[in-house]
Structure 1
Amino acid sequence: MDTPDHQDQQFVQSNRQPGDWSTTLPLEVETKYVLKNSYPIPENEFQRLVDLADFDLDYSGLQDKFKDLTTLAAKVTGTEVSLINLIDSYTQWSITNYGLDLTSMPRENSVCQYTIMEPDNFEVKDLQLDERFAEEFYVTEDPHLRYYFGIPLKSSNGNHLGALCVLDTKTKELDAEKIELLRIIAAEVVSRLYTIREIQYLKRQVTEVNESQRRVSHDIRGPLGGILTMAQLVTSSEANLKLNEILEFIQLIQVCSKSLLELADEILVNDDKWKLENGNSSQSEVFHQVKLKDTLDKLYTPQARAKGIRFIVSTDASTELIPFSRNKVVQIVGNLISNAIKFTMEGGSVWVTIKLHIEGSHNILSLTVQDSGLGMTSEKVMSILTGQGRSSHGTAGESGYGFGLPLVQHLVDTLKGQLSITSTPGQGTCFKVNLRQQKVS
């Protein structure tokens, strides 16, 4: 399914009313964040986000892979807390932690958002005395953190994906040797991220090889059977064929053989083209709707509850266990969810619907993110679809970084998918993404 030009994208007014939303999910507001209107943005922010998206990570499933590194960082620096944080368009994800049970927070509330602005490190001697952090929950409430030191996690392209940081409830002083050890640990974090990506790529390669073998076997069996049948007729002593008939069969065999060679070449060329287009991107293991729902619930339910918003993810029971590639899917739908939460008021709802449409030679993965939030004018919708949209603050004053939806458009375009938006001011917005999927056994 090719991506249409921007002017061909469709947007229509939604007929859904706010009262249409309902759920039985218990609403438990846990942490209320102090949201700020000023925030730092790296000059290379979009490329930084693309670099992070290329790892195609499930932020909720990395704890065990990095736990030893946060433990080591805390031990060598003598601090009570250590975190490995990755920062996307809206959120800081603590993929593993030591001494502080933290999984995510809004980006604008983090200290590490300043670390990714620095070339080497960022230090805050006393968080209580720094007006940027003095009112944050981790300073004013338990554990009442005071000291922070962070090292950027640098990709091979030089972009900062996030930070390795250590924190303490007392002010400290780290000597040069300890700082150098933190740099070594940070480099190991990045090395493991690349190793995880390579493992995911190899898993996908194995799947693709198996699929190619099945496809070649199916596509070649018919023509090859025809050649064998004609050859048996020519060589059979009972056929009593005349010379002109034998020559005719030989010509047919030659034509079929040529077609068979062309078919084999076409399969090989398509495989090489696929590898060329996808070989440098992050490819993950195949998964299905139930796994995607579980991932989204783990990642975004805390954000929704922190703002007092109902968050519901539903799947299509008839196809929910049919596998598909997870390539960039979590990044795409995750950015749309964060955007929906940002522009939905307390007491509102964000609803995610996942469906897989079975078609002849391929499937279509349909991802819909609806909210009961502020909504947009048709002009605003068109500005987003044409890459000219400007960021604005959320319903609770959340900072707008301006890169979430452009990143979604970029990723959808990369996968040759379709993005459409329907919205009515005051009645919410519906984002719908369609991604073409190869059939996976």
Structure 2
Amino acid sequence: MRVLLPPDEEGRLAALHEAQVLDTPPEGDFDDIALLASEICGTPVGMVSLVDAERQWIKAKVGVDYEETSRDESFCAHTIQDHDVLEVPDAGADPRFADSMFVAGDHKFRFYAGAPVVLDGAHAVGTICVLDRMPRELTASQRRALRCLARHTAVQLELRRYARHAGNVADRMRQLDRMRDSFLAGVSHELRTPLTSIRGYLEILLADGFDPETSQRFLAVMQRNSDRLLRLIDDLLTVARLNEGGMELHLAELDLAELAHQVTTACRPLAEHRDVALHNLMDHPVLARGDGRRLGQALNHLVVNAIKFTSPGGEIIVRGTAGDEPELVIVDTGVGIPAAELPHVFDRFFRSTAADRMAAPGPGLGLSIVNLIIEAHHGSVHLDSEPGVGTTVRLTLPRA
């Protein structure tokens, strides 16, 4: 029996296809979501599914090996009729699903729960769902977790769509920088609200103390992903504001050695995860005048960039010198930058060939932001690099 279509079917399909995610290769962010849903709900199967016109396509999955199924046979086709969790405690006793191939056939699923993935605040394009071969019910915390994961998935899809639009605008309107910056600032504002909500839900879920430990571990992964998206939004706003001279700096005397300690301490877990040695050699005060928050943002970009492009077993060194022109130096043994690309590394939205080859995340704003922040301090940035050897970045700042 054919599943009824939602009243917004035309707009729903338009939003889904605009996301350009159907039939794309696996991605770690979505794989984490499927695994986390399965772990939290204690089910053998977890999925990130998208409901197309005639099929359900699975973007990420745990516990099953099929890629898609008929929409008419899909549990998720029912979930997208509403904007809340659909829970089927015993599919064998539910007339909507008792004859489904997934219940009566070889899979023998009995339990289903799914939370809709809603784009534009209106169109349910898919679900985060879990299945089990035994009848059961979710706890209130598990239902809340599914909703949170569905919201996080929607943000992932919307961020890709907005980034693509930003790239298109940049390509068509290179001469209209102010228009592009205004567009990016608007996009950032629209993304910050749902991301802030997601962080709130993640904090609740972490505070609940889920068992087993794997659930906590993957919840922490989701929180790091949320932090990464928030940093991207801050980057977009920073570029727009600095370009228009609207970034207010709170200047004061500060110790660059203490700043380096804070940044390297925060970045060390990422370095350890990638098996990269991160050394802070600043063991004496290096006084300068600047905005600690903005300089920390710039240094964080440089250290994270170095980690991303340094292979396992490599190392990164942060050192500094005092004097008439206090200096911070970041040296890595990473992949390096070809000479032909060096003149463009501070251009907004520029991504190196290494970034594309390594599928490194980010829209190409990091070094642009570093340059804008240091120039706003009346300092300078110098970058030297050699492919296969590494990169050295020198930040020079006014003396305190």
Answer with 1 or 2: which has the greater Rg. Answer: 1
Query: What's the TM-score once normalised by structure 2's chain length?
Result: 0.42
Query: What's the TM-score once normalised by structure 1's chain length?
Result: 0.38
